[in-house]
Amino acid sequence: DGECAGNPFKNIAHGANTDHGSESSFELLVKLNPDFIFVCDRDSAISRPGARLAQDVMANPLVERTDAAKNGRIVYLTSSAWYLAEGGLRATDMMFADIEKALAIAK
């Protein structure tokens, strides 16, 4: 079912027929209405000039209609750890801290 034992989160995208980098939309977020949204700001991680911050992109009326936004459950991940440095001890520690933050607001 796409979930780990003891996982408090439901993967609503499990089983979706998509490839890495597939486009999504804010309308899809409204349709799926997730309890949590985890955001990894790729542009910030790679220091892309002129890119909008993830918080600016996510601050729109469609996202605000989701249960995640209504309940303060949009979690901004430490992008450098999740996108660039996956697997190192420091990055793994940052990833766990991000997940702990999400679990704390899940209560």
Residue pair 62/27 in contact by the 8 Å Cβ criterion: yes
Does 14 have pLDDT greater than 90?
Answer: no
Total structural domains within the chain: 1
Q: Which residue has the higher pLDDT, 36 or 9?
A: 36
Domain annotation covers residue 83? yes
Confidence of residue 13 (pLDDT cuts 50, 70, 90): low
Q: What is the pLDDT of residues 39-64, one digit of tens each?
A: 887 776 666 777 677 888 889 999 99
Tokens standing for 39?
């955001």
**What pLDDT shows up at residue 51?**
67
- Residue span of the structural domain in which 61 resides: 26-106
Does 25 have pLDDT greater than 70?
Answer: yes
Domain annotation covers residue 17? no
Domain annotation covers residue 5? no
Nearest CA-CA partner of 13 in 27, 34, 43, 30:
34
Does 65 have pLDDT greater than 90?
Answer: yes
CATH number for position 60: 3.40.50.1980
Average pLDDT value for the chain: 79
Domain annotation covers residue 6? no
Question: pTM here?
Answer: 0.68
